[in-house]
Every structure is written in C-alpha cells, then in structure tokens.
Amino acid sequence: MLLKPSRADFHRIIHDIGVILLVSAAAGVFPLIWALLEGEWYAAGDLLMMIGIGVVIGGATQAFRPPSNRGVDWSHGLVVVGLTWLAVPALAAIPLWLSGHFGQPIDAYFEAMSGITTTGLSLAQDLDHLPVSINVWRHTIHFLGGQGIVLAALTFFSASGALSLYQAEGREERIFPSVTSTARFIWLVSAVHLVIGVSALFIDGVVIQGFDPGRSLFHAVTIFMAAFDTGGFSPQSSSITYYRSPVFEAVTAVLMIAGAMSFGLHHAIWHRKKRLGSNLEIRTIVSTFLITLTLTTVGLAAIGAYSDPAALTRRSLFHVLSAHTGTGFATVSTAELGRWSGLAYAGMAIAMALGGMSSSTAGGVKSLRIGLTVRAIYDSVKVALLPERAVISSSFRQYGEQRLNPKLAQSVMAVSLLYVALYLAGAGIAIANGFPLEQALFESVSASANVGLSVGLTTPTMPFVLKVVYILQMWVGRLEFIAAFALIGFVVAWVRGK
C-alpha cells in the first residue's frame, strides 16, 4: 500500500529546498561583484533580480515553514535532491533570460540546466557579445553544479540527515566520517586547483597569447570553472579553438583530468597512498581511455583529417579527454566535429557514454560500474565453463579489497542498462524529429552523459520537444536515475497514496 506523504514531509522537503535556493542565490553575489567592477549596471540588475527572488523564496521557507524535528531519511533526501536540481536551474535562468540573449524562456532554462549538470550544451545567441558578468554567472553555475549544490548547502548549513542528502546527489564515498568534513575536503581540493589552474591559465593568457591582464583573468576564471567541473561552457563561441595555444590546451587537459577524478582518489593522492594503480576504477578508466583514444586516432588518420602526426595526436588526445571526462570542450568547429566519421565517431561516442569516475564531477555510466559490469560478465562466463560444484569467490580492489556479490553486480548492471536506454531514447526522439541517426545518437549521448560536445543538432532553432527531452536527459543523467525515480514515486504516492 502506498503511503501518502504527510504535511510534515512536505514541510521538511520545502525547508531543505529553501536552504539550497538561498545558497544558490548567494552564489550570484560573485558575478554581481564582477558586474559592478565592469560597470555592467543592467546586467547587475538582472543578477540582483535573481538573488532577490532566491532570497524571498528561501527566506519564506525558513519563516513560514519551520522544520519538524524529524530528520531527513533516504527517500526524503532523494526527493529533495530531485526537486532541487529542477528548481535551481529555474532560479539560475532568470539573469540569462533577462540578458536578451535567449530566444525563449525554455532556452534560458536549458542553458541553466546544462550549466548546473555540467553538460555544456548551449542555446545562447550572440555569445561573443554577452555581458562579462552574465558569462561569469554561466560558469559559476557550472562550479555550483560540479561541486554539488546540496554539498554547497551542507557546507554552510548543518542539516539532520546530511548523509542522505549527500548520497542522494550521486556521491557514494565518504572520505571522512562526517559529511561536513568530507564537504570541506572537497572545497579544499577545489580551492587548491582553483589557485593553481587560474594562475597557469592567466600566465598563458598574458605571456603566450598576449591578452591584456583583465581579460586574461576573465578567461582564466571561466575556463577553470568549466574545466575542473567538467562543464564545457566557454566564454567565446568558438570554445577552446579561440585560444590557439598548446600550453592553454595542456593546462585545460590537466584540469579536466583532475575534475573527472573521484575526490576519494584526490584524497589518496594527497596522502600518498600506495597501490592506487591496482584499483579497479583506475585500471578501467585508463583502459577505456586508451581504447577510445586509439579508435579516434586511427579513425581520424583513416579519413585523412590530419596528415601531420603531431597535429593528429594533439586533436585526438584533447577531444577524447574532453569526451571521456565529460567536459565537452572542442578545438575544432562543430561542423568539423560532424565530419569525424567511422572509427573517430565511434571512439568519441563511446568515450562520452562511458564517462569519468564515480563521486567526481563527470557524468556518464562511470568507470567503476563499467569495471564491475565487465568483472560480473567474466565471472558468469567462468561459472558456465567450470564444473557445477566449483565455488567462485569474486573480489575487486577499490581502496582495499571488496567483494563483488550478486546484489552489487545486479545494481551496477541495472544502472548501466538504464544509461544505454536513456541514450537510445533520446536518439529515437531526435530521429523522429527528422535528424539523421549518427547526429541524433551523438547528441543524445552528449546530453545524457553531461558532456556537451555537439555535432550541430543543439541550436536555438531545434524543435521544442527536443529541448525538453535534452533537459530531462541532462537532469536524469546527472542524478544517476535514483533521485529522479524517487521523485516520480513521491508524486505517485501523493496522488494515489492513502
């Protein structure tokens, strides 16, 4: 029997979402300061509008909806996270829509959802003339989403049931016993990368590319946020092609790798833990990266895209990294990427679909699931080949020895299959809207795995229904299904429960 959610359930959920909206609105202060420094008064007004709405909604939930004493259980955590990831983009879209660079409100919402889920697909028009502060806001959304909105809120507001909220956002590992300590560690890692990354990009901008220092700082900050949070937005319409600097590409590549690494791995590296190379997840991601890199490089060589080996390696390496980490930066035009056919297309599409590490800012199926799925299939084959009485005990190494039991194998295979279904569903809808199979599949994988590379299907003139589908794919892909399903279950229980 379905149990109808009680009034106290709603109070608790509304209260928590209110807190998260307050934190999201507070993040708008950063671009607001930038707007004031740049003298972009009207953009500052647009940002102030967003902050005001966020604070009113957040403040009202605190004033009129006092929380009950009960904490947040697992299902509440999932519902809060599911709703939060729909509500925050709506708030974040306000200054984007007011900027006048989006054709319809849904385009601004698409952009905000793409930003918060660190996808990087964009429907902005005349991006090259977008106010600097609004551009900074687009990238701040990446940072907020990449770090985890709920995680950000937990850092500032302690909450009962913090663990449920934390895990519901797609983070499985706890680096420290307390969620708050884990959140602080994640912010510390990000801050260290911010200082190093922004400095390196800034120096490259001034010294190698010859930009003026103010503009160089703008490029460095925005590209850092998009790279480290595996987002993919860029301040100029031509993505990383704009910079034409191997050093800039190299720094960006390092940041993309750092972003796609789990914070558990960051912790292990910081503490110089040994035998990291034997971890299943690391072995899997290195293997899949090498396979997709080989496919793409051979494919590009086969179509004769680059006759110079150095140029060929530079392009394939950067793009496979961008696809596998789920970032979505490009150093070729959208039309050029669309010409990558055969093995090059396959290599890129597979890299996007597989994604980065679990508990990182990357999307996709994730390497640990891929590794466990392969291991489970291998075990099944072994069982079939060995005598009936043979007992097989399967284990894997992931920061220590762990057992692969049937329940775990089933769960990772189910999520992997759900991702495949999501990729195919999006592709099917695009095909039904008249797009060719290759384009439709590439774009669907890119949206679902939160990558952001495009072969030209994502434009402001694309069908309305496809915009909605991609928004849902980005949302479901980022939440790794569970929170989305829990939200649907909650609505069903509310409507049909007793």
Partner 1 sequence: MKRAAVVAIGFGLAMLTVPALAESVSITELDADPGRYDGTIVTITGEVVGDYGHASDVVWIQLNDDAYALSPLAETGALQGTNTGLGVRLAPRLYSDDWGEPGRSGMRGPLLEITGTFKYNSDDDQGETFIDAESIVLIEPARQISATVHQRLWPAVSGSLLLLVGSGLFVVGRVKRSRH
237 with 128: CB under 8 angstroms?
yes
Question: With CB under 8 A as the contact rule, which of the stretches 98-106, 177-185, 189-197, 277-285 interacts with partner 1?
Answer: 98-106
Among 26, 33, 36, 48, binds partner 1 (CB under 8 A): 48
Minimal distance in Å, beta carbon 369 to partner 1?
34
Coil, strand or helix: which one is 72? coil
* Span 347-406, contacts to partner 1 by CB under 8 A: none
Among 212, 272, 390, 393, binds partner 1 (CB under 8 A): 212
Question: With CB under 8 A as the contact rule, which of the stretches 78-86, 138-146, 173-181, 329-337 interacts with partner 1?
Answer: 329-337
444 with 398: CB under 8 angstroms?
no
CA separation for the pair 302, 92 (Å, rounded): 44
173 with 402: CB under 8 angstroms?
no
Q: What backbone torsions phi and psi does residue 72 show, to the nearest 5 degrees? A: -95, 120
Among 26, 33, 203, 208, binds partner 1 (CB under 8 A): 208
Minimal distance in Å, beta carbon 219 to partner 1?
8
Three-state SS string over 217-255 comes to: HHHHHHHHHHHHCCCCCCCCCCHHHHHCCHHHHHHHHHH
Question: With CB under 8 A as the contact rule, which of the stretches 136-144, 177-185, 203-211, 342-350 interacts with partner 1?
Answer: 203-211
137 with 88: CB under 8 angstroms?
no
* Span 222-251, contacts to partner 1 by CB under 8 A: 236-238, 241-242, 244, 246
Q: Which is nearer to partner 1, 246 or 489 (CB)?
A: 246
When computed from its CA atoms, the radius of gyration of the chain, rounded to whole angstroms, is: 22
Q: Which is nearer to partner 1, 203 or 208 (CB)?
A: 208
Among 99, 117, 239, 292, binds partner 1 (CB under 8 A): 99
Q: Which is nearer to partner 1, 135 or 288 (CB)?
A: 135
Name the helix (H) or strand (E) containing 70: none
* Span 55-94, contacts to partner 1 by CB under 8 A: 55-64, 66
Question: With CB under 8 A as the contact rule, which of the stretches 45-53, 190-198, 358-366, 445-453 interacts with partner 1?
Answer: 45-53
Q: Which is nearer to partner 1, 53 or 408 (CB)?
A: 53
Minimal distance in Å, beta carbon 490 to partner 1?
25
Q: Which is nearer to partner 1, 171 or 319 (CB)?
A: 319
Q: 98-111: string of b/e by CB count within 10 Å (b at 16+)?
A: bbebbeeebbbbbb
Q: 122-141: string of b/e by CB count within 10 Å (b at 16+)?
A: bbbeebeebbbbbbbbbbbb
Q: Is 11 in the site for partner 1 (CB under 8 A)?
A: no
Q: Which two tokens stand for residue 78?
A: 């999932």
Going by C-alpha positions, the residue among 110, 165, 138, 174 that lies closest to residue 27 is: 138
Question: With CB under 8 A as the contact rule, which of the stretches 80-88, 189-197, 206-214, 404-412 interacts with partner 1?
Answer: 206-214
- Which DSSP symbol is given to 128? G
Among 17, 20, 22, 220, binds partner 1 (CB under 8 A): 22
* Span 255-294, contacts to partner 1 by CB under 8 A: none
Minimal distance in Å, beta carbon 304 to partner 1?
9
CA separation for the pair 344, 333 (Å, rounded): 15
Among 199, 278, 333, 395, binds partner 1 (CB under 8 A): 333
